[in-house]
Amino acid sequence: MPIRLAIVDGHTLTRYGLHELILQYSDIEIVAEYTSAAEASRAIGDVRPDVVTIDVALPDSDGLQLAREFRDRQAALGIVILTSKGEDDILFRALETGASAFVAKTAPVEEVISAIRHASVAANSFTASGLAVAISRRRAAQERLALSPRETEVLRLLRDGLSIPAISIAMFISQSTTKTYVARLYEKLGAANRSQALMTAVRHGLIDSDEDGTPIRVPLTAGAARRPASAVVGVGPVRSQARTSVA
Fold match flag (3-129 vs 144-243): no
Return the percentage of the chain with pLDDT > 70, whole number: 83
User: Taking residues 168-197, what's their average pLDDT?
Assistant: 89
**Quick check: 142 pLDDT over 90?**
no
Mean pLDDT taken over the chain: 82
Instruction: Dump pLDDT digits (tens) for 214-223.
Output: 444 434 333 3
- pLDDT-derived band of residue 238, with 50, 70 and 90 as boundaries? very low
- pLDDT-derived band of residue 13, with 50, 70 and 90 as boundaries? very high
For the chain, the structural domain boundaries read: 3-129, 144-243
Does domain 144-243 sit in CATH 3.40.50.300?
no
CB contact at 8 A, 13 and 38 = no
Does domain 3-129 sit in CATH 3.40.50.11540?
no
User: Taking residues 115-129, what's their average pLDDT?
Assistant: 94
User: Taking residues 221-237, what's their average pLDDT?
Assistant: 31
- pLDDT-derived band of residue 168, with 50, 70 and 90 as boundaries? very high
pLDDT score of 214: 44
Asked which of 27-31, 151-155, 162-166, 221-225 is least confident by mean pLDDT, the reply is 221-225
Closest CA to 201 of 183, 213, 216: 216
> Taking the alpha carbons of 27, 33, 38, 44 in that order, is the dihedral positive or negative?
negative
pLDDT score of 210: 58
Instruction: Dump pLDDT digits (tens) for 48-98.
Output: 999 999 999 999 999 999 999 999 999 999 999 999 876 788 888 898 899
**Quick check: 164 pLDDT over 50?**
yes
d(CA 76, CA 204) in angstroms, rounded, equals 30
d(CA 157, CA 30) in angstroms, rounded, equals 45
pLDDT score of 209: 67
pTM comes to 0.64
DSSP the chain: --EEEEEE-S-HHHHHHHHHHHTT-TTEEEEEEESSHHHHHHHHHHH--SEEEEESB-SSSBHHHHHHHHHHH-TT-EEEEEES---HHHHHHHHHHT-SEEEETTS-HHHHHHHHHHHHH-TTS-EETTHHHHHHHHHHHHHHH---HHHHHHHHHHHTT--HHHHHHHHT--HHHHHHHHHHHHHHHT-SSHHHHHHHHHHTTSS---TT-PPPP----TTTTTS-GGGGSSPPP---GGG----
